[in-house]
Amino acid sequence: KQEVTQIPAALSVPEGENLVLNCSFTDSAIYNLQWFRQDPGKGLTSLLLIQSSQREQTSGRLNASLDKSSGRSTLYIAASQPGDSATYLCAVKNDYKLSFGAGTTVTVRA
């Protein structure tokens, strides 16, 4: 069974600091890895999707890396803003199912 772990569980930083969120998974036979953002009381917003053959994906201030062999992914958010405050979820896809980590709750202080 795929196990996904996210560290840290919570993070508080001052505005402007770079954020580093970590995700690890136990079964490296994945199709892809996806990072989501979840705001309180809301659904999931997809941020980045990395195919198993890729090493990283970038979108604006966001960059995600994938090391499939070691079962790790890192999400970097540059120059954080208060609007980045949310819970960030990592999910890996085996077959058609997504297995999720518990999330990292980020607070960016103005």
Partner 1 sequence: GAGVSQSPSNKVTEKGKDVELRCDPISGHTALYWYRQSLGQGLEFLIYFQGNSAPDKSGLPSDRFSAERTGGSVSTLTIQRTQQEDSAVYLCASSLGGPEQFFGPGTRLTVL
Binding site for partner 1 (CB under 8 A): 31-32, 34, 36, 41-46, 49, 51, 89, 91, 93, 96-103
Determine how β-strand 44-51 pairs with β-strand 104-109. Answer: unpaired
Q: Which amino acid is residue 29, in one-letter code?
A: A
Least distance from C-beta 84 to partner 1, angstroms? 19
Report the C-alpha dihedral over residues 4, 2, 25, 70, rounded to 10 degrees.
Answer: 170
Q: Which amino acid is residue 54, in one-letter code?
A: Q
Least distance from C-beta 85 to partner 1, angstroms? 19
Q: Which is nearer to partner 1, 64 or 91 (CB)?
A: 91
Least distance from C-beta 90 to partner 1, angstroms? 11
